[in-house]
């Protein structure tokens, strides 16, 4: 997905990209219900009453066959204020970690999505589970470095930095 704030023929920048290297569930050639992913992207839009142009650039590899690619339910929201709500994350441990991030939540409201973002801004899908006030995310497949865990709930997103050392 690419976006331009300089008109349809202006320069485009990559907003997000997807392929089988981004998620283990995309590495097989047949896609099932478990292959659907929800993505939230922050748009580089700072001017009111302006136009954004989007394009989906499709590239294919002739040596690999797959069931295909679908994009569904594109939605755009305009945010014009800062949410002063307290973070849903109470603590995160261990820091540094090497395999799992243990997050203590402020309350047991269900988490709808948990991803990890690296220092370059790349979003990594991780396996995770929630049990009450605890959320455990598996980060053992990620290289060492500085990351941010992003936890989505129905009406809010909370972020917390952590470090992977090996």
Strand partners, 163: 146
Q: Do 52 and 101 share a structural domain?
A: no
* Sign, CA torsion 79/42/23/162: negative
Torsion of CA 93, 95, 96, 101, to 10 degrees: 20
Using a cut of 0.85, tell me whether the model's pTM lies above it: no
In this predicted structure, what is the pLDDT of residue 147? 96
Q: What is the pLDDT of residues 114-132, one digit of tens each?
A: 999 998 889 999 999 999 9
Q: By residue range, what is the domain housing residue 59? A: 1-80
Burial (CB count within 10 angstroms: exposed 0-12, middle 13-18, buried 19+), residue 22:
middle
Residue where a domain stops, chosen among 32, 47, 80: 80
- Asked which of 62, 80, 98 is the last residue of a domain, the reply is 80
């Amino acid at each position: 997905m690419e976006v331009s704030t300089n008109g349809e023929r202006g320069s485009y920048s990559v907003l997000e990209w997807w392929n089988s290297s981004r998620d283990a569930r995309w590495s097989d050639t047949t896609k099932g219900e478990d292959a659907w992913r929800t993505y939230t992207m922050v748009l580089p839009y700072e001017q009111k009453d302006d136009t954004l142009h989007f394009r989906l650039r499709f590239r294919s590899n002739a040596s690999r066959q797959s069931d295909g690619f679908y994009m569904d339910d594109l939605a755009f929201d305009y945010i014009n204020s800062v949410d002063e709500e307290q973070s849903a994350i109470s603590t995160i441990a261990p820091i540094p970690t090497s395999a799992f991030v243990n997050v203590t939540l402020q309350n047991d409201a269900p988490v709808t999505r948990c991803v990890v973002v690296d220092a370059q801004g790349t979003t990594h899908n991780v396996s995770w589970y929630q049990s009450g006030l605890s959320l455990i995310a598996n980060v053992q497949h990620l290289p060492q470095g500085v990351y941010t865990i992003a936890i989505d709930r129905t009406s809010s997103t909370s972020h917390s930095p952590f470090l992977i050392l090996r």
